[in-house]
Amino acid sequence: MALTPFCSPPPSLCSSFRSLRRGLFLPLLQAYPYTTSKGAVPMPETALMALRFEVLGRFNRARAAQLTLPHFVCQTPLFMPVGTQGTIKGLATNQLEDIGCQIILGNTYHLALRPTSELIDELGGLHKFMNWPRALLTDSGESSGWKANAPYTRGVYSNPSMCFTLAYFGYSCYINRIGADIIMALDDVVKTTITGPRIEEAMYRTLRWIDRCIAAHKRPYDQNLFGIVQGGLDPVLRDICVRGLVDRNLPGYAIGGLAGGEDKDSFWRVVAQCTAALPEDKPRYVMGVGYPLDIVVCSALGADMYDCVYPTRTARFGTALVPEGVLKLKNNAMAEDTRPIDSTCACMVCKNYSRAYIHSLVSKDAMGSQLLSYHNLYYMMQLSRNLHSSIVRGKFPEFVCNFLQKMFPKGDVPEWVCNAMEVAEIDISSCRARFRDD
Amino acid sequence: MKFVVKALSNGTARAGVLHLDSVAAAIDTPSLLLSTRKGLPLFTSPDLLSSFPSPDSRLLHVSPLHFLEGLSIKTISKIGGLHQLVGLHDCGFAAFPRDSIQCLPEATATNKTGASFETPCGRLLIKPAEYMEMMSSMKPELWATLADEVPAWVSDKRNKTSVDRTIKWLDECIALSPVSGAVFGAIVGGSSLEERRRCAQEVATRNVSGYWIGGFGLAESMDERPALLNAVTEALPEEKPRLICGLGLPEEILQGVAAGVDLFESTYIYHLTLEGFALTFPLDGTRINAPNVAGIDPRKINLRATVFRKDATPIVEGCLCYTCQNHTRAYINHLLNVHEMLAQILLEIHNTHHFLGFFGLIREAIKAGRFEEFRKDFVRSRYDGLVEDGSEPVLLAR
């Protein structure tokens, strides 16, 4: 495998652009020699893709689309539940279909460990192994496993390229054997709360690695390799990374490195910058998002796909997702409450069970986790469906206002949401309390 | 509730039909009561319940003790009773406090005011008045009167007290009886033949719709059990149904059927599921051809075993349960290894399905008049060629 020379990154231009304000004034950068195809392996014009992305409706930056993948035809915006180890905790595959899940995540690192990618391959791939007929996406294992254990993280090493070769050689085998419809490139992720040259290093490394991912990818006809934009919270780095990835003409792009504790104001700006710069005709996936509010904002800014452990994890802690925000079923007040979790929800749990009954189950019986996970995922799928249909029917601003009014009945919509909606050109003034200063 | 005996085999084993208002179809007996926790199965979610054979899976056991820790009587009444509470309408609930999985009678703490149980919430004492309030709010289709169950090793005096107390509580419960629900009189008596007979005779004189036989599965041996069971059933009128608690293993169920019991609560499925076992004994009535390979258990398989890592076959070929129709042994092996909840869900579904099939075989054998033959065959074939693996005694411990 040819090793590209290790190029030292150009001096950072962060200081010049620290005053970057509302979104989308992108600096007119000279094309850095590095970001053109020097040493990179560009995808041919007739890019090998295993998907089709057709935009069916728009509202300013938001779009509703049909994403055709080898195993399923999906409607975006969509939320993808996380099934790290080949299962969504506590739910059977037919329930996931009933709820309306379109794509599920699996984790390459965890599955490579147990039951091993060779075994999954031998048994016909992950779809067959877990009997999930719809689409699958495998991530490398950002927050655990892969990155934590790759050699370069453990202190002194001589040639990072050499280490990558060792790490990646395994990775490409694993992801091809597991056989998901979408496979995420191996990227170098750092927490957004970290500052300093490490972020720049990670961004450039991600770019170098994407070429090797492309070269090692053995199944471009039925597996889509998505590149991941890194660069921390620095707009200059993000821009370099976006351009580098777009040059490679990949089937889809993800915005990574977020959802890690950064403040919301920085978060939405990075999403806004990236969605503006990524191609219109390819899906955009914001990784690790998350809260329903974040999904609505990112969709308004032009993102299409999301994943997060939040809905299922919070279910196991006894918290239900409702239009008003969250409902903590463990709370003693729930013991006498005979209403359903959410009277507007059409799921099996809300149609049959009272808050009092679920309260008696949560944190004591497995059934409690199951029922809440079911409801929470149904809520997220319904949110996805509502986003898609409201954009297609031209009612997206009404949907957003309705959503915000329910969540912030007193009109106290957070500042960051207001700023983001301004950039997305969606008028949410009807949801905001008027502050009379005069 | 209506119960009719349709067939007898070998004198005492009977096949009958149970009609409950809430269940559309008639339930054939001998039948299994599915174990629940707060009214729902432990792992099988309600939308998957419909995949079980019907109506044999429509009888559910509920213990009122489960609700003492989080749901008040007032709230249950406000919601409208068990059916509304757990969202299951086409099924019948049988309510009695003992839940052989988690709420076992604590004979040392039971006193003249109430029955004590060891539960996950600690020790609970339940008095007849309180108990009847729960029955009124839960509105089960059938319920048992409060009993003082004692293990096999207690003194004769304590055993006698338990019988007197149980009869006294029976009368108190009947006096406080709610309007709906069929009352099953509780019968105890430990491991004393005279006490068992005495209790059964007393309860037989009361105005009850059926009989709940308690005190079994509390350390009496399998050898002494048949005589004790017969001492009870011989004293009871034939036309009323008998429900027993605490017989877990298939062989124990067969003992109960032979003595003339109709309804069974069993912990077998629960223990199998938790330990990673799936039932595999053949359900087509054929003799199990136990292979000569030592260590292979023809009754059940433990899906944690590495031999199943790549086994892409279902647990039982041809089984119509959700698990076997959708998943492989390899997948369940993986789920067990990574400690995923779905493993227990899938195992409980298969084991319930399979165990219900076993009850189907029992009913067929009785109707064909060859129950004793079936029973002897079944017991013998389960041990033929088997290496003693020590797994079954664990299940017998409780």
ipTM of this predicted structure: 0.91
Mean pLDDT, range A44-70, rounded to an integer: 86
Asked whether residue B328 carries a pLDDT value surpassing 50, the answer given is yes
Question: In chain B, what percentage of residues exceed pLDDT 90?
Answer: 74
Query: Residue A406 and residue A404: Cα distance in Å, rounded?
Result: 5
Mean pLDDT, range A361-378, rounded to an integer: 93
Q: What is the pLDDT of residue B77?
A: 92
Query: Residue A354 and residue A338: Cα distance in Å, rounded?
Result: 5
**Confidence tier at A207 by pLDDT (50, 70, 90):** confident
Pick from A91, A114, A360: CB nearest B337: A114
A267-277 pLDDT, tens digit per residue, is 999 999 999 99
What are the residues whose beta carbons fall under 8 Å from the beta carbon of A350, sequence distance 6 or more?
A340, A341, A342, A343, A375
**A339 and B CB contact within 8 Å:** no
Residue type, B36: T
Contacts of B90 in chain A (CB under 8 A): none
Angle at A149 (CA atoms; ends A148, A152), nearest 5 degrees: 90
Reported as type and span, the H/E element at residue A284 is strand A284-286
Locate the chain A residue with the closest alpha carbon to B36: A367
Pairs of residues, one from chain A and one from chain B, whose beta carbons lie less than 8 Å apart:
120
B42-85 pLDDT, tens digit per residue, is 999 999 998 898 888 899 999 999 988 788 999 999 999 999 99
Asked whether residue B246 carries a pLDDT value surpassing 50, the answer given is yes
Listed range (A25-39, A167-181, B136-150, B373-387) with the worst mean pLDDT:
A25-39
**Confidence tier at A203 by pLDDT (50, 70, 90):** confident
Contacts of B337 in chain A (CB under 8 A): 114-115
**A8 and B CB contact within 8 Å:** no
Phi, then psi, of B279 in degrees rounded to 5: -70, 135
Mean pLDDT, range B197-222, rounded to an integer: 93
Q: What is the mean pLDDT of chain B?
A: 89
Compare B200 and A220 and report the one with higher pLDDT: B200
Pick from B70, B310, B341: CB nearest A122: B310
Q: Under DSSP, is residue B82 helix (H, G, I), strand (E, B) or coil? A: helix
**A359 and B CB contact within 8 Å:** yes
Asked whether residue A22 carries a pLDDT value surpassing 50, the answer given is no
Q: What is the pLDDT of residue B5?
A: 93
Q: What is the pLDDT of residue A229?
A: 93
Query: Residue B61 and residue B244: Cα distance in Å, rounded?
Result: 11
Q: E-strand spans in chain B? A: 2-9, 13-19, 27-29, 31-35, 59-62, 92-95, 104-105, 115-119, 122-126, 142-144, 182-187, 210-213, 242-245, 263-265, 277-279, 300-302
Q: Which two tokens stand for residue A193?
A: 């709360």
Q: What is the pLDDT of residue A150?
A: 44
Asked whether residue A44 carries a pLDDT value surpassing 50, the answer given is no
Q: Are strands B277-279 and B300-302 parallel, antiparallel or unpaired?
A: antiparallel
Mean pLDDT, range A168-192, rounded to an integer: 78
Query: Residue A247 and residue A245: Cα distance in Å, rounded?
Result: 5
Q: What is the pLDDT of residue A5?
A: 37
As a whole number of Å, the end-to-end CA separation of chain B is 31
User: Does B75 sit within 8 Å of A335, measured CB to CB?
Assistant: yes
Angle at A398 (CA atoms; ends A397, A399), nearest 5 degrees: 90
Q: Which two tokens stand for residue A358?
A: 């679920």
Mean pLDDT, range A207-221, rounded to an integer: 87
Q: What DSSP designation does A248 have? A: T
Q: What is the pLDDT of residue B285?
A: 52
B96-151 pLDDT, tens digit per residue, is 999 888 888 998 999 999 999 998 888 999 999 999 999 999 999 999 999 999 99
Query: Residue B329 and residue A284: Cα distance in Å, rounded?
Result: 37
Q: Which two tokens stand for residue A202?
A: 């990670």
Active site residue A438: no
Asked whether residue A193 carries a pLDDT value surpassing 80, the answer given is no
Q: Are strands A305-308 and A284-286 parallel, antiparallel or unpaired?
A: parallel
Query: Residue B329 and residue B311: Cα distance in Å, rounded?
Result: 6
B272-289 pLDDT, tens digit per residue, is 999 999 999 888 755 444
A327-348 pLDDT, tens digit per residue, is 999 999 999 999 999 999 999 9
Q: What is the pLDDT of residue B296?
A: 62
User: Does A338 sit within 8 Å of B342, measured CB to CB?
Assistant: no
Question: In chain B, what percentage of residues exceed pLDDT 70?
Answer: 92
Q: What DSSP designation does B4 have? A: E
What are the residues whose beta carbons fall under 8 Å from the beta carbon of A111, sequence distance 6 or more?
A85, A86, A117, A120, A126, A138, A174, A178
Rounded to an integer, what is the distance from CA A280 to the centroid of its chain? 17
Listed range (A12-26, A239-253, B375-389) with the worst mean pLDDT:
A12-26
User: Does B37 sit within 8 Å of A367, measured CB to CB?
Assistant: yes
Q: What is the pLDDT of residue B368?
A: 93
**Confidence tier at B206 by pLDDT (50, 70, 90):** very high
**Confidence tier at A358 by pLDDT (50, 70, 90):** very high
The residues facing B144 across adjacent strands are B184
- Residue A175: closest CA among A115, A119, A109: A109
Query: Residue B267 and residue B99: Cα distance in Å, rounded?
Result: 9
Q: What is the mean pLDDT of chain A?
A: 82
Q: Which class for B50: exposed (0-12), middle (13-18), buried (19 or more C-beta within 10 A)?
A: exposed
Q: What is the pLDDT of residue A363?
A: 80
Asked whether residue A170 carries a pLDDT value surpassing 60, the answer given is yes
Query: Residue A172 and residue A175: Cα distance in Å, rounded?
Result: 5
Asked whether residue A35 carries a pLDDT value surpassing 90, the answer given is no
Asked whether residue A194 carries a pLDDT value surpassing 50, the answer given is yes
Q: What is the pLDDT of residue A415?
A: 94
Mean pLDDT, range B296-312, rounded to an integer: 88
**A315 and B CB contact within 8 Å:** no
User: Does A360 sit within 8 Å of B67, measured CB to CB?
Assistant: yes
**Confidence tier at B393 by pLDDT (50, 70, 90):** very low
Pick from B37, B47, B342: CB nearest A90: B342
Q: Which class for A132: exposed (0-12), middle (13-18), buried (19 or more C-beta within 10 A)?
A: buried
CA distance A89 to chain B (A): 6
Q: Under DSSP, is residue B213 helix (H, G, I), strand (E, B) or coil? A: strand
Chain B residues whose C-beta is within 8 A of a chain A C-beta are: 37-38, 40-43, 45-48, 67, 69-72, 74-75, 78-79, 85-87, 120, 309-310, 312, 322, 326-328, 330-331, 333-335, 337-338, 340-342, 344-346
User: Does A131 sit within 8 Å of B327, measured CB to CB?
Assistant: yes
| Helix then strand then coil, % of chain A, to nearest 5 | 45, 15, 45
Q: Which of B40, B83, B138, B315 to mutate against chain A (most A CBs within 10 Å)?
A: B40
Q: What is the pLDDT of residue A166?
A: 46
What's the longest Cα–Cα distance across chain B? 61
3-state DSSP of B124-141 = EEECHHHHHHHHHHHCCC
User: What DSSP line would sit under B282-311, residue for residue?
Assistant: -SSSPPP---SSTT--SSEEETTSGGGTT-
Quick one: angle between helices A264-277 and A415-423, nearest 10? 10
Query: Residue B228 and residue B225: Cα distance in Å, rounded?
Result: 5
Mean pLDDT, range B300-307, rounded to an integer: 93
Catalytic residue among A139, A188, A234, A239: A139
A151-165 pLDDT, tens digit per residue, is 444 333 334 444 454
**Confidence tier at B314 by pLDDT (50, 70, 90):** very high
Pick from B37, B46, B345: CB nearest A92: B345
Compare A50 and A144 and report the one with higher pLDDT: A50
Mean pLDDT, range A424-438, rounded to an integer: 75
Contacts of A364 in chain B (CB under 8 A): 69-70, 120
Mean pLDDT, range A295-315, rounded to an integer: 95
Is B321 known as a binding-site position?
yes
Query: Residue B109 and residue A148: Cα distance in Å, rounded?
Result: 54
What are the residues whose beta carbons fall under 8 Å from the beta carbon of B5, sequence distance 6 or more?
B14, B15, B16, B238, B239
Contacts of B345 in chain A (CB under 8 A): 90, 92, 370
**Confidence tier at B159 by pLDDT (50, 70, 90):** very high
Query: Residue B348 and residue B323: Cα distance in Å, rounded?
Result: 9
Phi, then psi, of A322 in degrees rounded to 5: -135, 165
| Other Cβ atoms closer than 10 A to A333 | 9
B4-46 pLDDT, tens digit per residue, is 999 998 889 999 999 998 888 899 999 999 999 999 999 999 9
Q: What is the side-by-side order of every strand in the sheet holding A52-59?
A: A52-59, A62-68, A73-76
Task: Measure Cα distances from B334 to A92, A204, B309 in Å.
Answer: 15, 37, 7
Q: Which two tokens stand for residue A218?
A: 């053995």
Active site residue A247: no
Domains of chain A, each with CATH number or no CATH: 19-308 (3.20.20.105), 314-407 (no CATH)
Catalytic residue among A188, A234, A304, A307: A307
Contacts of B338 in chain A (CB under 8 A): 85-86, 110, 114
Task: Give helix then strand counts, H and E, for chain A.
Answer: 16, 13
Query: Residue B263 and residue A305: Cα distance in Å, rounded?
Result: 53
Pick from A85, A130, A354: CB nearest B79: A354
**Confidence tier at A25 by pLDDT (50, 70, 90):** very low
Asked whether residue A401 carries a pLDDT value surpassing 50, the answer given is yes
Q: Under DSSP, is residue A386 helix (H, G, I), strand (E, B) or coil? A: helix
Contact B81, B46 (CB under 8 A): no
User: Does A365 sit within 8 Å of B337, measured CB to CB?
Assistant: no
Asked whether residue A146 carries a pLDDT value surpassing 50, the answer given is no
Rounded to an integer, what is the distance from CA B378 to the centroid of its chain? 20
**Confidence tier at A261 by pLDDT (50, 70, 90):** confident
**A113 and B CB contact within 8 Å:** no
Q: Under DSSP, is residue A405 helix (H, G, I), strand (E, B) or coil? A: helix
- Long-range contact list for B197-201, CB < 8 A, 24+ apart? B197/B231, B197/B232, B197/B234, B197/B235, B198/B163, B199/B163, B199/B166, B199/B167, B199/B232, B200/B231, B200/B232, B200/B233, B200/B234, B200/B235, B200/B236, B201/B235
User: Does B337 sit within 8 Å of A370, measured CB to CB?
Assistant: no
Give this prediction's pTM: 0.88
B175-197 pLDDT, tens digit per residue, is 987 768 899 999 999 999 999 99
